[in-house]
Amino acid sequence: MRWLPATITDEFKSHNGFVAVHLLGILPIARFSGAPVSKGEVMRALAEMPWRPFGFAEQPNLIWDAASERHLRVTFHDNRVTASINFEVDNEGRILSAVASDRPRIVGKSVVVTPWPGVFEQYRLFADVRVPSRAEVHWHLPEGQFD
């Protein structure tokens, strides 16, 4: 089977999540929005925080909890969307992994809550800021891992 290139746009703006798929970058073939999409977009943004370390500063919509010395949980709450990500941190303060146990995943016209873990590796300095230069996420599907 031959695949055609597609462009996927996803965002969380003005309290709403949105995903659009365009075939060849111009032909719209799918559009998703609603509460589950909003939650999924917030989870993605939270999981990407190691690439934006200044986002760890005090934010009015973020609640931080330390489950242990090496495990943090960040929850976003804005009275419309609540979403959480769990981080594992090493002894140097680097985030090793981000895990969402309940990230919404679109399957056809349905939404399936699915575990979504990711790892961060190869920390480097960029303009005096240490961030991971490599990351990998996947879905834990019943039939196995989907990258």
Is 47's pLDDT higher than 80?
Answer: yes
Residue-wise pLDDT tens digits, 86-141: 999 999 999 999 999 999 999 988 999 999 999 999 999 999 999 999 999 999 99
**Unique residue bearing structure tokens 């929850």:** 75
- State the chain's maximal CA–CA distance in angstroms: 49
Residue-wise pLDDT tens digits, 49-89: 999 988 777 788 999 999 999 999 999 999 999 999 999 99
C-alpha to C-alpha distance for 18 and 40, rounded to whole angstroms: 10
First to last CA, the chain: 19
C-alpha to C-alpha distance for 101 and 3, rounded to whole angstroms: 31
